[in-house]
Amino acid sequence: MVNENEITPRKDIAIKAALEAGKMLKDNFGHVTDVKTKSDRNLVSDLDLKADEIIAGIIKENFESDNILSEEKPIPELKSAFTWIIDPIDGTHNYIRNITIFGVSIGIAYKDKVVAGVIYIPTTNELYWAQKDKGAYCNDKRMRVSPRDIKQATIFFDSTIRYNPSVLLKSLDGLADKVFNVRMLGSTVRGLTYIAQGKAELEVEYTDQVWDYAAGLHLIEEAGGRVTDLKGNEWNINTKGYIASNGVIHDEVLDIVNDNK
């Protein structure tokens, strides 16, 4: 069983790493010089790699034996029960195109459960963090999810529709008729932080990787929201597809998603 004394110092180092990487990204915003296309048509820049190195370096200085799983290095050497889950730029495509919707995400898992998460949005200087059973905060102000029902809900939906349009468009069609509005931001962490803050109510994702969601889903749960996989089961770092909500609308959304497969 993991205890607070093991989590808190790791959360503090995650904050330090996110702030340092975020400062570098903000300082270099608009100056991406090297962009490559991955096999899945996603892009990676030289600054993704630099931010990843900054974060990993700080972790290794402080917790050398912990595992590190990163979008840029997705196969970790497993040496510890603790795994750091890093997305150095969530919203890389936005960042490359000088769109300010992006963030740094660091989740900390004990075995397969996330126990702390940090997200930093450099362009707005918003630092989000959550720790198991300690709540969720933005710039040290405690966050709570909203009480809005589905008719009032703003939702974020999976923007990778191209991977499976027949399934995703059917699901989106079922949701769009029930909610107030639908948004696609191109950055999972930005959507998840808005839900934790009570500014939006729902995110539905089919194709997110663990580095996209680890920190953000933990924020939402610690802010009083609810997260499950697409079938309503408990989530962990191996989950493929999830629903994250304010809790009020969760069961209704599960029904809609599963009725529109």
- The CATH number of the domain holding residue 160 is 3.40.190.80
| Burial per residue of 236-255, b for 16 or more beta-carbon CB atoms within 10 angstroms, e otherwise | ebebebbbbbbbbbbebbbe
Q: Containing H/E element for 52?
A: helix 46-62
Residue 18: which domain range?
A: 4-142
The total domain count for the chain is 2
Each residue's pLDDT tens digit, 92-149: 889 989 999 999 999 999 999 999 999 999 999 999 999 999 999 999 899 999 999 9
The residues facing 126 across adjacent strands are 121
The residues facing 160 across adjacent strands are none
Q: What is the pLDDT of residue 166?
A: 84
Q: Please give the DSSP secondary-structure letter assigned to residue 161.
A: G
Q: How far is CA 127 from the centre of its chain?
A: 13
Q: What is the pLDDT of residue 160?
A: 83
Whole-angstrom distance, CA of residue 188 vs CA of residue 71? 14
Q: Are 79 and 106 found together in one domain?
A: yes
Q: Which of 224, 194, 10 is nearest to 133 (CA)?
A: 224
Q: What is the pLDDT of residue 40?
A: 58
The CA R_g of the chain, rounded to the nearest whole Å, is 17
Each residue's pLDDT tens digit, 17-66: 999 999 999 998 988 877 777 655 566 678 888 999 999 999 999 999 99
Q: Among 71-80, 133-142, 164-173, 221-230, whose mean pLDDT is lowest?
A: 71-80
Entry field: residues in the chain: 261
Q: What is the pLDDT of residue 192?
A: 98
Q: Are 8 and 101 found together in one domain?
A: yes
Q: Are 63 and 32 found together in one domain?
A: yes
pTM of the model: 0.94
**In the predicted model, what is the mean pLDDT of residues 85-96?**
93
